[in-house]
A and B are shown apart, each in its own frame.
Chain A
Amino acid sequence: MSGLGVFAQALEIAVALALAPLLTGWVNQCRAWLQNKSAPPLLQPYRMLHKLFHKDSVLAERASPLFRAAPYVVFGCMALACAIVPTLSTELPLSPAADAIALVGLFALARVFISLAAMDIGTSFGTLGARREMLVGFLAEPALLMVLFTASLISHSTSLTTIVDTLAHRELEIYPSLALAGVAFTIVSLAENARVPVDNPATHLELTMIHEALILEYSGRHLALIEWAAALKLFAYSCIGLALFFPWGVAQAHAPLAMLLAVPILVVKLALGGAALAFLETMSAKMRIFRVPEFLGIAFVLAVIAMLVRILLGA
């Protein structure tokens, strides 16, 4: 482990923590523009975090310690996820801590804790949200794993840094399997981040909400942590997508200058990705919860086909 590696790791975590709310704000702004609404300011998520951190948090009488611990666990999981996805450099001291499979497990851990916390208070909305969250999660996870396996087959490793290294510094070659996996990954990340076809992040309508139902009982600093964690999750998924399908611009090991250049490249890529996400959200309508298995089934099938195409065609 070199000093440069530690610096890269620290820079990456700092960038993730700082930029994640900005990405959420940017997506919200793009969405508002596309829907002909007056957009909230770009820095709105920061203001909300600031406001929430300064408010007292109110706990239900019967809340168990789990309810209090969950926001910290979720936030920790998401921060670690952002730390091991290579966004700026492929030399990350923390990356041996978790490969692609463990990364999926990390997201699952966060999901389990937030669902348990939602059921902890015993309100019906929390339970409803937790069940829906688990339904979406158990369908999305296999598809995500298949997508990551496809990338692993190409680079012969499940370590994210190796995958990105292989994909970013190869000759220009078209991989149909990656194209299929990309579509599958888009569907999975829409579902996992509670985006429009599956869940509407802007609604508080009781019967349709998933993510909002989970965090209904949280307030103050707990809510701030969870909102920040949600922003980090979106950031992490965007970075995984960029790392797998548009890996150009990520610095190799021992290249400090390239790493500094990687920051603006990442910002541009995230801005484009966020605009594309807002466009997708605007174009699609929220689907019934019973259509979600179908939607995620398509993602799973696409990811499996991507893997088959990779194995059998070698392409």
Chain B
Amino acid sequence: MNAHAFGGQLINLFAAIMLLVAFAMIAQRRVLTLIHLFAVQGATLVASTALVGYVTHQPHLYISAVLTLALKVFLIPWLLHRVIDRLSVRWDVELLINIPIMLLLGIVLVIFAFNIAAPIAQLSSSIARGTLGIALACVLLSFLMMITRSKAVPQVIGFLAMENGLFFAAVAATYGMPMVVELGIALDVLVGILILGVFLFQIREQFDSLDIRHLERLKDE
């Protein structure tokens, strides 16, 4: 077996781990574990990006892997840790739908994503084209997570996980976006998380709670 085929299998394995982590996030009640899972997802992303870069000899993917490592494995989880410490919201996450139903919805989303991605993947010549469906599924699962959480912090994590999924899709389908775009996105995410952090404190100050359903009442007052 040559190194190329082995690399392809490893990428498939990482893709499966991404999907696994996405499901674990959906089924997770605790904010703290959610942050750990987000870091794990980031680490998987780093590994697969570096691997695609190595197999296809695309050095610019190394840079984006390092960028992802710094941002999504260390900096953002650390920031989130600080936020939940300062807000003291290590409590159990309140879910709008119970977990088994969410998991079944998740399966439906995965089948949907795989079906959508199958014709697109055939157009691509990338080594990791088979994983496009998984990347799309990760995006949709993060969407589901954002929809079904009523607290602000898990929603932020869902948003970040969605960005992870998009990044993975980009790597899988086209060997990553142009460097400028990648840098821009990385910066955007960082700025976004800072703004969301400030936003969280604001919500908390206004309503003494991070339940975003309080925001719906604003129009009456």
Interfacial chain B residues near A172, Cβ < 8 Å:
1
Chain B residues 123-178 with CB under 8 Å of chain A are 130-131, 133-134
B201 within 8 A of A: no
Interfacial chain A residues near B17, Cβ < 8 Å:
176
Q: Which residue of A lies closest to B19 (CB)?
A: A305
Interfacial chain A residues near B12, Cβ < 8 Å:
174, 176, 313, 315
A264 within 8 A of B: no
Stretch at the interface among B31-39, B107-115, B179-187, B213-221: B107-115
Q: Mark B31-75, 1 if CB is under 8 A from A, else 0.
A: 000000000000000000000000000000000000000000000
Which one of A171, A177, A312, A314 has the greatest number of beta carbons of chain B within 10 Å? Answer: A312
A183 within 8 A of B: yes
Q: Is the CB of B23 within 8 A of A314?
A: no
Interfacial chain A residues near B15, Cβ < 8 Å:
176, 313
**Partner among A174, A305, A313, A315 whose Cβ is within 8 Å of the Cβ of B107:** A305
Q: Which residue of A lies closest to B14 (CB)?
A: A176
Q: Is the CB of B100 within 8 A of A173?
A: no
Total A residues in contact with B, Cβ cutoff 8 Å: 24
Q: Mark A283-315, 1 if CB is under 8 A from B, else 0.
A: 000000000011001101110110011001111
Q: Is the CB of B1 within 8 A of A173?
A: yes
A183-B20, A293-B100 known; A312 and B9 CB under 8 Å? Answer: no
B190 within 8 A of A: no
| Bound-state Cα–Cα, A211 to B104, Å | 29
A297-B99, A308-B114, A315-B130 known; A171 and B16 CB under 8 Å? Answer: no
| Minimum Cβ distance to chain B for residue A210 (Å) | 20
A180 within 8 A of B: yes
Interfacial chain B residues near A301, Cβ < 8 Å:
23, 103-104, 106-107
How many pairs of residues, A versus B, come closer than 8 Å at their CB atoms? Answer: 67
A179 within 8 A of B: yes
Majority-rule SS of B interface residues? helix
B118 within 8 A of A: yes
Chain A residues 148-188 with CB under 8 Å of chain B are 171-174, 176-177, 179-180, 183
Q: Is the CB of B13 within 8 A of A297?
A: no
Chain B residues 65-102 with CB under 8 Å of chain A are 98-100
B27 within 8 A of A: yes
Total B residues in contact with A, Cβ cutoff 8 Å: 28
| Minimum Cβ distance to chain A for residue B202 (Å) | 34
B193 within 8 A of A: no
**Partner among A177, A305, A312 whose Cβ is within 8 Å of the Cβ of B118:** A312
| Minimum Cβ distance to chain A for residue B190 (Å) | 31
Q: Which residue of B lies closest to A296 (CB)?
A: B100
A293-B100, A312-B114 known; A298 and B27 CB under 8 Å? Answer: yes
Interfacial chain B residues near A293, Cβ < 8 Å:
100
Q: Is the CB of B110 within 8 A of A308?
A: yes
**Partner among A173, A298, A302, A308 whose Cβ is within 8 Å of the Cβ of B9:** A173
| Minimum Cβ distance to chain A for residue B68 (Å) | 21
Q: Is the CB of B110 within 8 A of A174?
A: no
| Minimum Cβ distance to chain A for residue B13 (Å) | 5
Interfacial chain A residues near B13, Cβ < 8 Å:
174, 176, 179
| Bound-state Cα–Cα, A180 to B15, Å | 11
| Bound-state Cα–Cα, A177 to B12, Å | 9
Interfacial chain A residues near B9, Cβ < 8 Å:
173-174, 315
| Minimum Cβ distance to chain A for residue B6 (Å) | 8
Interfacial chain A residues near B6, Cβ < 8 Å:
174
A176-B16, A177-B16, A302-B23 known; A314 and B103 CB under 8 Å? Answer: no
| Bound-state Cα–Cα, A177 to B114, Å | 15
Q: Is the CB of A312 within 8 A of B16?
A: no
| Minimum Cβ distance to chain B for residue A4 (Å) | 33
B189 within 8 A of A: no
| Bound-state Cα–Cα, A176 to B17, Å | 8
**Partner among A294, A300, A309 whose Cβ is within 8 Å of the Cβ of B16:** A309
Q: Is the CB of B130 within 8 A of A294?
A: no
Interfacial chain B residues near A177, Cβ < 8 Å:
16
7 contacts between A and B (CB under 8 A): A173-B9, A174-B6, A174-B13, A176-B13, A297-B104, A305-B20, A315-B16
* B residues apposed to A, CB below 8 Å: 1, 6, 9-10, 12-13, 15-17, 19-20, 23, 27, 98-100, 103-104, 106-107, 110-111, 114, 118, 130-131, 133-134
* A residues apposed to B, CB below 8 Å: 171-174, 176-177, 179-180, 183, 293-294, 297-298, 300-302, 304-305, 308-309, 312-315
List 18 additional contacts besides A176-B15, A297-B100; criterion CB under 8 Å. Answer: A172-B1, A173-B9, A180-B16, A293-B100, A298-B27, A301-B106, A301-B107, A302-B20, A305-B19, A305-B20, A308-B107, A308-B114, A309-B19, A312-B114, A313-B131, A313-B133, A313-B134, A314-B130
Which 8 A-B pairs have CB atoms at the shortest separation, nearest pair first? A176-B16, A297-B100, A174-B9, A315-B12, A301-B103, A312-B114, A176-B13, A313-B130
